[in-house]
Amino acid sequence: MTLEYYTYTQGAAIQKALNAIATFFVSQSFASMMSISLMIGAAMTYAYFVATRNPKHIYIWAIVFALVPSMLIKQTVTMQVIDKTEPTAGYSVANVPYLIALPTWFFSTMMVGTADAIESIFTTTDDERYGRTGMMFGSELYQLSRQSDLKDVALRRLWNDFFQNCIIGDIQINKKYTWNALMNAPDTFAFLDIKNMSPLRGVILNDLNQTFKTCEEVYPDIKAKFTTSAAIELDLIATYLHGDKASTYKAHVKNAMSNSYQKFIGISNNAVDVLKHNMAMNAMRYSINTLDPSASAMNYAYTSNKMQQTSMWATLGMQAREFIPMLHTMLFTLFSCLGFMVAAAALIPALTKMVLTNYIKTFAYLATWPALFAILNAIMTWTLESHSSATANPMRGLSLSNSNAIDELHMRYGYMAGFLMMTIPVLAGKILQGGVAAAQAMNYQLAGMINSTNARVSAASSTGNMDFGNLQMQNHSLNNTSANKFDDNMLLRTGMNTAQQRDGSSITSLQNEDGRRLYNAQEAESKPLWQAQASNMLQNSVNDQYSDAKTAQTQNMNSFNDSFSKGFQQSDRWNDNWSKNRSYGDGQTMSTEGQISQSHSKMDSAIQSVSETMGWTHDQAQAYVAAKNAGVEVGTPKFFGTSAKAGASWSEEDRESFSHMNAEQKQALAQATSQYSEGATEMQRAGRTLDAKENRSEAEQYAHDFAINAQRTQQTAAAVNESNAQVDSLSHMQSRLKNDTVNFSASAITGFQQYLEENSPKEVARLMNASQPEDMQDVRRAFEDYTRTDGFQEQYGVNTSKASLNELKSLYQPKDLGQTPTLQPEQATLINTGAEQSLAKTQEVAADMFKVNESGELFVDSTYHNVKGNALLYAGHLQNEVQRAPTPTVEGDHEVKNKVEAEVDTTPIKSTEVASYPSAGYPLMPPKDNG
């Protein structure tokens, strides 16, 4: 035999619950429970019999022991769970005991039969039946369809561009239609279909080519995409209502939506068109809201049709519509599952009648709920249909103008239906007691809820404690006292996060600017009435530095001019001597003097090239190349106006021609300068090789002095360039500081407070809070004493009398004198690097000397004999040509002879060597001894 178990939802869950109960009834645990109940029943029966000596207790125990297990527990049946919301689903459960199967079958059948009978009279379609679709299913479908919106971001952007560029243009520019006509249109796309779209204005598509389409071209594409999105939205609604069985019930949802709009709005469009129209209205509302504030005012539906809602009814109604039907199903299933406890209690004779009677009453009570739900659903649906049609008919359908009013109507009736559903559990219990008891029960319940709300409002009105729109979360308050305060200022602060540090300062993070931080140290020190600051003026320091730089520039310039003039003197004094020495012979070119001669010739050739290229005198050209070789930054020759004493000066024509040189002159000047620098370098190299030589020839002495003077000139030129740069920098800074003063001030309050706490702890409070004149005088004196301390001077960057000693003390590092001193790794590295550089320099000089002498020796024997032989041969030739001098005829005591011998020193010269020393100057070379 098979019995039916009817339910309005959760058929799969009920199947699993009955399976669990059927399994438990055949388990060993249930058998043990039955044994315990039988023993308790037997003990209680024996006690009653002993106390009363009435044999009926034994008869009752025998009947219960025989009938309850055999009729209600051992007898089982197969149950078919039928879910009214899922007609195609079938759930079967076997071996369900009669104790559970009989009452659930009887009362669920009575429940569904009564509700179906009522709904067959009150409603005509399945879409409006509570047992088929739930409470006010048509209204729920309407609200879900009104929430449909564009899910595709690209389509939303395309529609927004189309609305702003095409629709607004047609309304405000071309005057094709008005805003009222658009908002009152019952079908947005049907309204736009009969309007001619602009062939000029359009939108730019969001593709790779940024294609431009006119309004006339893009409108069909938008309409087609809305149709596709509406079909997708219909699938989403079906999924929301039926879950994984959405594909099965999609046709039902589609028909139900069409019927809903036919009933409430009076239009007979299919579900896709309905959703497409709702999408268009929602997209249009979004586009209007994104316009400027003046255009937002056009969306008057929100302001003209929005009605006041009752928060209590809305909240309770939403909760009741969702939870009351679920509560009914869960209670029916719950008491079905509690059959094993009823079975255990029914085995006790004293409890059998009471337990079974109440068990049946429970199912009877729950069976009356669906009938009341069906009646309430029909009443609320009829009322909503009439009011909704009355709101939609003036506009001949759903439009932007009446959409909010209709939405508000459906929401209000939904809340009301949910609120009334809360009274059904009370009405179901009192229904058999008459209408008076039911009305009283409902009145008590409603009055209690209303009174709870009004009590709070009345208390607020009487005490003046009125709250509106307050939101509080995680607030903690302790020991707060506030009195006599009035502040009606508006303060709006957002996006900041402030954290106080241990020292009293705070750090504020700006969340809207990538976490940028603000540091506030104002709360980290005391705030007395007086101020104490240590300031440092930058302008005075710059003026002092500028004066020192000017003095250094003058000194460096004088030194440079002195060395520059001395170079000119050396060159002028030895020009004639160089012309004599150049014809000395081949033997000289192979010695150090030969290298000096070649270097001088190269330098002189470069000077001559500069003179010919620029048209300058020899002195001007020499001054230019010498300055460039020294490293002076030469822009125009006007720099050498200070070298007039050296014999070189320039006219305005010379300076003008220098500033306007052509490319050939610049190239020739660069080559000549490079040649002079090369010759000067070779001259300096030759001069440095003569440092250790005590006796030098005139040429060697010139090379030695040239090297010394060139090095001094380069050093003074570098100092001049540095001084010029420093003077220019300080001059620019000084000119800026004449108008803009840079001042740095640091608060000395914290340091002064610490000074008082250490030296005058009893006077800290009086001095820090000083307000009287005599106290201010004491603060001044104490602060002056504080500024003379080493602590103040060290904290604010002033050298004290002990600063140098403390610095030396910190630098002192005692060493163990018993250990042999060793070099640090850094020192060893520095010495090794210097040794390698010295060795490389020595090898370079030796290689140059080897090239000059053509050997590694300073004296070449073959050259010496060749020169000596040539000299002797030429001397003999000259002796043969010399004629003997005639014998003087003047006598020895002649007066002329005596006068000549008296004037002339006839002492023979013993040596032909000429001594040379640094102060000897440059004497003319004595004649060679031919003997």
Three-state helix/strand/coil letters over 376-430: HHHHHHHHHHHHHHHHHHHHCCCCCCCHHHHHHHHHHHHHHHHHHHCCHHHHHHH
**Nearest-angstrom CA–CA distance, 770 and 765:** 8
pLDDT in tens, 688-697: 666 656 566 6
Most confidently modeled range among 215-229, 294-308, 503-517, 541-555: 215-229
**Nearest-angstrom CA–CA distance, 60 and 48:** 11
Residue 849 has pLDDT above 50, yes or no: yes
Residue 811: per-residue pLDDT? 63
Backbone angles phi, psi at 616, to 5 degrees: -95, 170
Residue 716 has pLDDT above 80, yes or no: no
Backbone angles phi, psi at 772, to 5 degrees: -85, 155
pLDDT in tens, 477-522: 888 888 888 888 888 888 888 888 887 888 888 888 888 887 787 7
Residue 522: per-residue pLDDT? 76
Q: Name the nearest CA neighbour of 320 among 190, 452, 415.
A: 415
Half-sphere exposure of 197 (CA within 13 A, CB side): 21
Q: Name the nearest CA neighbour of 605 among 514, 668, 524, 694.
A: 668
Residue 630 has pLDDT above 70, yes or no: no
Q: Name the nearest CA neighbour of 170 among 190, 198, 189.
A: 198
Q: Evaluate whether 267 touches 397 at the Cβ level (below 8 Å).
A: yes
Average pLDDT value for residue range 723-740: 67
Q: pLDDT-derived band of residue 858, with 50, 70 and 90 as boundaries?
A: low
Using only C-alpha atoms, what is the Rg of the chain? 60
Q: Evaluate whether 255 touches 126 at the Cβ level (below 8 Å).
A: no
Helices 349-367 & 369-392 angle (0-180, nearest 10): 10
Share of the chain above pLDDT 70, in %: 64
Q: Buried b / exposed e across 539-558, counting CB within 10 Å, b at 16+? A: beebeebbeebeebbeebbe
State the pairing for strand pair 76-83/2-7: parallel
What pTM value is reported for the model?
Answer: 0.43
Residue 640: per-residue pLDDT? 45
Q: Considering only residues 807 and 625, tell me which one the structure prediction assigns the higher pLDDT.
A: 625
Average pLDDT value for residue range 105-123: 81
- Provide the 8-state DSSP code for 929: P
Residue 478: per-residue pLDDT? 80
Average pLDDT value for residue range 70-81: 84
| Out of 45-49, 122-126, 145-149, 550-554, least confident range | 122-126
Q: Evaluate whether 425 touches 369 at the Cβ level (below 8 Å).
A: yes
Average pLDDT value for residue range 176-202: 84
Encoding tokens for residue 825?
């790794």
Q: DSSP letter string over 499-534?
A: EE-TTS-EEEEEGGGTTEEEEE-GGGS---SS--EE
Cβ contacts of residue 277 below 8 Å, gap of 6+? 187, 188, 189, 269, 398
Residue 708 has pLDDT above 50, yes or no: yes
Residue 133: per-residue pLDDT? 66
Residue 929 has pLDDT above 50, yes or no: no
Length of the chain, please?
931
% helix / strand / coil in the chain, to the nearest 5? 70, 5, 25
Residue 714 has pLDDT above 80, yes or no: no
Give the 3-state DSSP-derived string for 4-61, with helices as H, strands as E and coil as C: EEEECCCHHHHHHHHHHHHHHHCCHHHHHHHHHHHHHHHHHHHHHHHHHCCCHHHHHH
Average pLDDT value for residue range 57-71: 79
Cβ contacts of residue 618 below 8 Å, gap of 6+? 607, 608, 611
Residue 921 has pLDDT above 60, yes or no: no
Q: pLDDT-derived band of residue 676, with 50, 70 and 90 as boundaries?
A: confident
Average pLDDT value for residue range 315-338: 76
Residue 55: per-residue pLDDT? 81
Q: pLDDT-derived band of residue 350, with 50, 70 and 90 as boundaries?
A: confident
Other C-beta atoms closer than 10 Å to the C-beta of 32 total 10
pLDDT in tens, 558-601: 777 776 666 666 665 555 555 444 444 333 434 566 777 777 77
Cβ contacts of residue 115 below 8 Å, gap of 6+? 130, 131, 370, 371, 373, 374
Average pLDDT value for residue range 122-129: 64
Residue 523: per-residue pLDDT? 78
Label residue 342 exposed, middle or buried (CB < 10 Å: 0-12, 13-18, 19+).
buried
**Nearest-angstrom CA–CA distance, 847 and 250:** 103
Average pLDDT value for residue range 363-381: 82
Residue 451: per-residue pLDDT? 60
Residue 859: per-residue pLDDT? 58
Residue 915: per-residue pLDDT? 42
Residue 460: per-residue pLDDT? 59
Average pLDDT value for residue range 449-476: 64
Label residue 497 exposed, middle or buried (CB < 10 Å: 0-12, 13-18, 19+).
exposed
Backbone angles phi, psi at 560, to 5 degrees: -65, -45
Task: Quote the mean pLDDT of the chain.
Answer: 72
Share of the chain above pLDDT 90, in %: 0
Residue 410 has pLDDT above 70, yes or no: yes
Q: pLDDT-derived band of residue 838, with 50, 70 and 90 as boundaries?
A: confident
Average pLDDT value for residue range 439-460: 62
Residue 296: per-residue pLDDT? 43
